[in-house]
Amino acid sequence: MVIHCEHLVKIYQTADAFRALNDVSLDIAPGDFAAVMGPSGCGKSTLLNILGLLDEPTSGVYRLNDISTADMSDRVRSRTRRDHIGFIFQSFNLLPKLSVLQNIALPMRYGNLPRKDILPRAYELLQRVGLADKADRTPQELSGGQCQRVACARALANRPELILADEPTGNLDSKAGEDILSLLRDLNRSGITIVMVTHDDKIAHGAKHIIRMKDGEIV
Amino acid sequence: MKLPDLIATGWLEIRSHKMRSFLSVFAIAIGIATFFYTLSILSQRYRDIDRTAEVSGKGRLDTTVERPLSMDQYNQLLRMLPPQASLSFQTDEMFTSATYKGQILTGFFLQGLLPTWQDSAFVYQVEGRFFNWQDIKNKHRVALIVVYPREKEPRHISSVDSGPAGSVQLQDFIKHINLLNQSITISDQSFTVVGILRAPPVEKDFRAPEDQESMQKIFIPYTTWYDIAPRWWDSFSTRVRIVTGSEDKAARATSVLHSFLRQQFGPDFLPGIRLFRHQLDIYRQGAWHNLKAMIFIGLIAMIAGGIGIMNITMVVIFSRTREIGIRRALGASRLDILLQFLTEAMLLGLCGAAGGMVLGYLAVLHMANNTSQLTFSWWVVAASVLLALGTSFLFALYPAYEASKLRPVEALKYE
């Protein structure tokens, strides 16, 4: 299994100790394309953050590629994020001061790839998402759909086995949304496991299977 | 992240916030300018003191004996000193006048020397010749006159204004007339000027202040001076100078001189023997002491600059929290984030160092005295750069550490 979760619980220590995840158990096999659906506040993004090692569960077991994440140091978590996970966010999260090419190169800058190989690899990824002519543009000069394609290219930078997409079509019109979905399906076909959070039924049905959540639980 | 990428990222941030960066750089530059100025001057003073040490001869010691000392005593003392030591006696300075072709020359002092006077702090170019031991032995009537070069700001060599009617100051007279090989009359005796001692320009004169003439002088042989000194002169004193050749031998020479003088003048005689090394230490302390206040001001300016950097870094981190979250999500470790902000701050420091050194150099050129002899010194540049980098590093450490501690999930949510 790429992802194996047992009895995950996430409690936010607010005044009323909000339980964002409640006993979530989940397995995602290599090459799967799972869509996580549910209403706002049901814990979809919390689950995705834990799966992406951006956050830690209050209790429960999370194994990534059969390795327990419980005792991982910050350094190992960062390295795992860098080498094994690609993120796609609803609001793209591209750095506005960097060019499109430099944005794609960014994850590689934290890796071990020789410097001379970084930009050619970034350019190759840009070609793959069909934006080779926008390499020197800044994200502000691109449309939402183009920005999300750049984010997809960035997610692929260090050749991850897992892509976590948090509402990747949430800020896009339906045409651009379909393009991104089609891109994700292509990536999935090339062997990358994808977990996508969405509240759009149509987009969710593009995945191989759907996980429905409500009130912090899988239903 | 590798260093070139850290630098490129830092530089991009600095360029995209020009005003904010300028203010930080300016604050650091003021501090560095003060330090650069102070260290340049200090470095030059220390170098001058080192040259003074070279010019003065190693292991030198001086004393003044309130008695006349004879050549027999000279030979006796010389035999007691370590081999290769140079011993020199100088007489008192006698205010007198001379006559050249009927012209009365006044405003100078007459002093008796030995040939060994040349072995310490001798900076002159000799036109003609210096005294030799034959001059001493035979009490030759020969004289040497010191002449100073024409300078923009002439050094202050005192001359006594009063003189008989029609007399001229020797200092003014020798500007126009070269007295080499000419006869002059001093105390009714005819002297031949066998040498002109041309003093170097003031910026190349590295003698200790105590070795530089404060008065216009004519030198004559040591023994001749006693021959013509008036009989009523009852307060003869002798300046004794020994150059031993090394610091180690100076201590031995001191005890030799001490016992010699007690042997000559009785056990209660207390000579004040000055080791020139101590004098050099006093000069060094003086140079440091004079610039201490500047160093303190520089330190305050650097702290102000450092606080500026700290403040800016904190603001930058606040405004870039989301970016930190993105970088963390893409694989940046805490160390990467820490290094990113430290590099940025140190780049600001480096720009401050560059600006500060330019300002400091201009200050040295326009404000410091004797800047014509100021030479470029790499250690001052290195110290300024290190200071700027160190200050930026120290003051950015806390905000950078705080940035590195941000949890990725919270940083990503930050709007």
Q: Do B102 and B222 share a domain, yes or no? A: yes
What's the confidence (pLDDT) of residue B16?
85
Beta bridge partners of B190: B185
Mean pLDDT of A37-62: 92
**Rounded (5°) CA angle B295-B298-B302:** 135
The answer as to whether B265 is a domain residue is no
In CATH terms, the fold of domain A3-66+73-218 is Rossmann fold (3.40.50)
Q: Do B190 and B310 share a domain, yes or no? A: no
Q: Do B139 and B206 share a domain, yes or no? A: yes
> Chain A partners of B334 at a C-beta cutoff of 8 Å?
74-75, 78
Q: Do B75 and B31 share a domain, yes or no? A: no
The answer as to whether B202 is a domain residue is yes
B2, B330, B333 ranked by CB distance to A75: nearest: B333
User: Which amino acid, A84?
Assistant: H
Domain limits, chain A = 3-66+73-218
Q: Do B79 and B225 share a domain, yes or no? A: yes
Contact across the interface for B334 and A78, Cβ inside 8 Å: yes
Q: In angstroms, what separates the C-alpha of B392 from chain A's closest C-alpha?
A: 24
What's the confidence (pLDDT) of residue B366?
79
B33-44 confidence digits (pLDDT tens): 988 888 888 888
Best A106, A116, A159, A163 member to test B by mutation, with max B CBs in 10 Å, is A106
Question: Chain-wide mean pLDDT for chain A?
Answer: 92
Query: How far is residue A198's CA from residue A90's CA, in Å, rounded to a whole number?
Result: 10
The answer as to whether B270 is a domain residue is no
Q: Do B103 and B185 share a domain, yes or no? A: yes
User: What is the sign of the dihedral through the CA atoms of B230, B231, B232 and B233?
Assistant: positive
DSSP, collapsed to helix, strand or coil, labels residue B88 as strand
The upper half-sphere exposure of residue B140, i.e. CA atoms within 13 Å in the direction of its Cβ, equals: 17
Measured between alpha carbons, how far is residue A151 from residues A123, A129, B407 in Å? 13, 10, 22
> Chain B partners of A106 at a C-beta cutoff of 8 Å?
327, 330
The answer as to whether B267 is a domain residue is no
Contact across the interface for B331 and A107, Cβ inside 8 Å: yes
Q: Check if the beta carbon of residue B145 is closer than 8 Å to that of residue B174.
A: yes
What's the confidence (pLDDT) of residue B371?
47
The answer as to whether B262 is a domain residue is no
Best A55, A69, A78, A92 member to test B by mutation, with max B CBs in 10 Å, is A78
The pLDDT of residue A181 is above 60: yes
Domains held by chain B: number: 2
DSSP, collapsed to helix, strand or coil, labels residue B357 as helix
Show which of B227, B243, B259 is a domain's final residue: B243
Show which of B195, B227, B243 is a domain's final residue: B243
Q: In angstroms, what separates the C-alpha of A50 from chain B's closest C-alpha?
A: 9
The answer as to whether B254 is a domain residue is no
Q: In angstroms, what separates the C-alpha of B408 from chain A's closest C-alpha?
A: 6
Q: In angstroms, what separates the C-alpha of B3 from chain A's closest C-alpha?
A: 10
Contact across the interface for B16 and A107, Cβ inside 8 Å: no
Q: Which domain holds residue B215?
A: 60-243
Q: What percent of chain A has pLDDT over 90?
A: 71
Best A80, A92, A110 member to test B by mutation, with max B CBs in 10 Å, is A110
A13-43 confidence digits (pLDDT tens): 877 778 889 999 999 999 999 999 998 888 9
Contact across the interface for B5 and A109, Cβ inside 8 Å: yes
Q: Do B76 and B205 share a domain, yes or no? A: yes
Q: Which residues contact B194 (CB under 8 A, 6 or more apart)?
A: B128, B129, B131, B142, B143, B144, B180, B181
Contact across the interface for A115 and B329, Cβ inside 8 Å: no
B322, B323, B331 ranked by CB distance to A78: nearest: B331
B81-107 confidence digits (pLDDT tens): 988 899 999 999 888 889 999 899 988
Mean pLDDT of A81-86: 94
**Residue ranges for chain B with pLDDT beneath 50:** 371-372
